[in-house]
Amino acid sequence: MITLGAMSVPEHSPLQFPPDFRWGTATSAHQVEGDNLHNDWWAWEQQPGRIKNGDRSGRACDWWDHAERDFDLAAKLHQNAHRLSVEWSRIQPAPDRWDEEAIGRYREMLHALRQRGIQPMVTLHHFTNPLWFADRGGWERDDAAMLFARFVERVVPPLAEFADLWCTLNEPVGWAFSAYVSGIWPPGGRSIRRGLGALTQLLQGHAAAYRIVHRLQPQAQVGFANYFRLFDPANAASPFDRIVARQQDRFVNRAFIDGTAIGRVRAFPWVANVPEAAGTMDFVGVNYYTRDLVAFDLHRPKHLFGRNFTAPGAPISDGEYGEIYPEGLYRVLQMAAEYRKPIFITENGLPDEDDDRRSDFIVSHLRQVWRAIHEGIPVRGYYHWSLVDNFEWAAGWSLKFGLIEVDPATQTRTPRPSASVYAEICGGGTVSFARLERFAR
């Protein structure tokens, strides 16, 4: 017998996933397309000191011209799903200009996925903003949600022929924090008040997008990708550590999702009270990477008085990205299940240039997904981050998340060994006992 939490599985039996399970990978426009000249990230990359090693997205993975080459690889690796995003600044490069050619290219890309038996999930906003929008005040303006809604209204109809699974926003809480509170992302804000203002607009923008997509495509499934991270008290016996860990959990994990479920943020009602957002989530999108231990620290008000760190001695991924903690995925799936909706794991992965932890990571995380499904949690798909190495925001090209290695200078592709491990799982819809024995922790 193998023990999985409270469950036991007969030895030598593979973990069988539901037949209609989506097996895929995730990417985002700016990280893979190249030459996204008209967004705020492109401008940010040109400023000295913003990106590690002075890296720039540049041609990225050359998807604007050649995404199909990587779609071929994804199909060869037996993937049947892919989550990608559309770049607002390409489609609306100026307030009064809509680029039909760009829309045409997205139609082509989605069609190309379909032709290869890969079902697309389309994210409408993944961290980047058109420069004109950012220059006018971005998500701090009262009309931000309305401007985003206008874009959604324009982009969904031509893409609806190929996609009916939509993510309005990617990781809104983490994004607002990095953009407006810690200031490591554009526009480099450093105030909690600004972050909270943006969050309210994002929630309104999400709610508007949800309704627009449903009006245009009644059968659509619409959600957003919520960043989940585990926060465990550094010292479980300390009530202070327990309180700050719980507050971080409530804010990071649940603020936005509560907003879309009930229209207000349960733990922080003053944050974003947007009644019209209630009931605007058809599925829970789970982005899960890691966990923190949290200790009470009076000097860190921006972090809700918590000092976060990685459990000493725990296995970690490259660049101190965080602890590798597979059981955390099971725990966040339990959290996600509280919202009583189908669940997609919209991202899960690790930076691992040498690929000596990725196979183990995939198998041991999928084992936890299987455990959740077996207990009745409705997980419908898993999108590994990422198909290819890509531009990792402020970390530039230094973190390698790809199943496939990419040299951005030559655009050479080299599938890593873990790509075949994942391909075997995707192809059979099962994790074999041999893999479990070899890799799972």
Q: Taking the complex as a whole, how short is the minimal distance between the CB of residue 287 and ligand NOJ, in angstroms?
A: 6
Q: Does 28 bind ligand NOJ (CB under 6 A)?
A: yes
Query: Which residues, numbered 231-260, are part of the site for ligand NOJ (CB under 6 A)?
Result: none
Beta bridge partners of 7: 4
Q: Which is nearer to ligand NOJ, 132 or 401 (CB)?
A: 401
- Which of 170, 217, 368, 418 lies at the binding interface for ligand NOJ (CB under 6 A)? 170
Q: Taking the complex as a whole, how short is the minimal distance between the CB of residue 219 and ligand NOJ, in angstroms?
A: 26
Neighbours of 251 (CB within 10 A): 19
Contact 252, 227 (CB under 8 A): yes
Q: Does 40 bind ligand NOJ (CB under 6 A)?
A: no
Q: How many residues bind ligand NOJ (CB under 6 A)?
A: 9
Q: Does 42 bind ligand NOJ (CB under 6 A)?
A: no
Q: Which is nearer to ligand NOJ, 185 or 210 (CB)?
A: 185
Q: Which is nearer to ligand NOJ, 31 or 260 (CB)?
A: 31
Q: Taking the complex as a whole, how short is the minimal distance between the CB of residue 104 and ligand NOJ, in angstroms?
A: 25
Q: Which is nearer to ligand NOJ, 44 or 385 (CB)?
A: 385
Chain centroid offset of residue 309 CA:
22
| Phi (first) and psi of residue 396, to 5 degrees | 60, -135
Q: Which is nearer to ligand NOJ, 87 or 241 (CB)?
A: 87
Q: Taking the complex as a whole, how short is the minimal distance between the CB of residue 143 and ligand NOJ, in angstroms?
A: 26
Chain centroid offset of residue 117 CA:
22
- Angle at the Cα of 437 from the Cα atoms of 434 and 438, rounded to 5 degrees: 85
Q: Does 57 bind ligand NOJ (CB under 6 A)?
A: no
DSSP for 412-423, written as a single string: EEEE-HHHHHHH
Q: Which is nearer to ligand NOJ, 173 or 423 (CB)?
A: 173
DSSP state of 182: S
Q: Taking the complex as a whole, how short is the minimal distance between the CB of residue 388 and ligand NOJ, in angstroms?
A: 11
State whether residue 293 is helix, strand or coil.
Answer: strand
- Which of 33, 87, 249, 392 lies at the binding interface for ligand NOJ (CB under 6 A)? 392
Residue 223 CB partners (closer than 8 Å, separation 6+): 166, 167, 168, 281, 282, 283, 284, 285, 341, 344
Q: Does 385 bind ligand NOJ (CB under 6 A)?
A: yes
In angstroms, the CA 344 to CA 129 distance is: 25
DSSP for 23-92, written as a single string: EEEE--HHHHS---TTBHHHHHHTSTTSSGGG---TTTT-HHHHHHHHHHHHHHTT--EEEEE--HHHH-
x/- letters, 281..320, toward ligand NOJ (CB under 6 A): ------x---------------------------------
Q: What is the largest CA-CA distance in the chain?
A: 64
Q: Taking the complex as a whole, how short is the minimal distance between the CB of residue 340 and ligand NOJ, in angstroms?
A: 25
Q: Taking the complex as a whole, how short is the minimal distance between the CB of residue 193 and ligand NOJ, in angstroms?
A: 25
Q: Which is nearer to ligand NOJ, 241 or 292 (CB)?
A: 292
Query: Which residues, numbered 345-384, are part of the site for ligand NOJ (CB under 6 A)?
Result: 347
- Which of 171, 258, 352, 389 lies at the binding interface for ligand NOJ (CB under 6 A)? 171
The owner of tokens 């697309």 is 120
Q: What is the CA radius of gyration of the chain?
A: 21
Q: Taking the complex as a whole, how short is the minimal distance between the CB of residue 127 and ligand NOJ, in angstroms?
A: 6
Q: Which is nearer to ligand NOJ, 373 or 406 (CB)?
A: 406
In angstroms, the CA 273 to CA 200 distance is: 7
In angstroms, the CA 296 to CA 244 distance is: 6
Q: Which is nearer to ligand NOJ, 401 or 422 (CB)?
A: 401
Which chain residues interact with ligand NOJ by CB under 6 A?
Answer: 28, 31, 170-171, 287, 347, 385, 392, 401
